[in-house]
Amino acid sequence: MPAGRGVQETAALALALAGSADEAKKMADDLNGKFPEDTLIQNGYIPMIRAVLDIHQGNAQEAINLLRAASPYELGGYGGLGVTPAYIRGQAYLTVHNGASAASEFQKILDHPGVVVNSPIGALAHLGLARAYAMQGNAAKAKLAYQDFLGLWDHADPDVPVLKEAKDEYAKLK
């Protein structure tokens, strides 16, 4: 039995985030073919999947361009794109060393807790914001954002790679 649309969208994005480019691209192409008139797929999920792939391939500026299509649809709640486009856009801005724009995207996520709910992106936005402030040379704000992130992960497994990275980055700011 073929996977439903929601499963395909999520799986394709997860594959892209995990670096499985061929499978993610194949699934995005399949979604594109099956749903040529679906607004959220055409302007949200496919651009997000392709943007993540572009970031992995070192083409973050193209990722930023692709994600313009998702802007009108992000921050929607259930059934919408939520904060995922802003998070991916923030990551792309970090990649091109645009700390101010990255900070704006991550702050957008933190400003909408009702959309974030319990998504891991909510916690990761604190880390993105910390990195954006550090990139801008604002150590005081970076420290606060790192502390917010580390506080949320206080009882997490200490061997989680993103937590280890965050602790190392925070220690370098002191």
pLDDT, one tens digit per residue, over 91-146 is: 999 999 999 999 999 999 999 998 888 889 999 999 999 999 999 999 999 999 99
- Confidence tier at 77 by pLDDT (50, 70, 90): low
Sequence-ordered list of residues with C-beta below 8 angstroms from that of 40, at least 6 positions apart, any chain: 73, 80, 81
Q: What is the pLDDT of residue 7?
A: 86
* In the predicted structure, residue 172 carries a pLDDT above the cut 50: yes
Position 1 scores a pLDDT of 32
Cα separation, 113 vs 166, whole angstroms: 22
pTM: 0.92
Q: Which of 13, 44, 39, 48 is nearest to 27 (CA)?
A: 13
Q: Is 35 helix (H, G, I), strand (E, B) or coil?
A: coil
Give residue 33's identity as a one-letter amino acid code. Answer: G
Domains detected in the chain: 5-173 (1.25.40.10)
SS3 labels along 42-80 = HHHHHHHHHHHHHHHCCCHHHHHHHHHHHHHHCCCCCCC
Report how far apart the first and last C-alpha atoms of the chain are (Å, whole number): 54
Tokens of residue 137, six digits: 């040379």
pLDDT per position as a tens digit, 17-44? 999 999 999 999 999 999 999 999 999 9
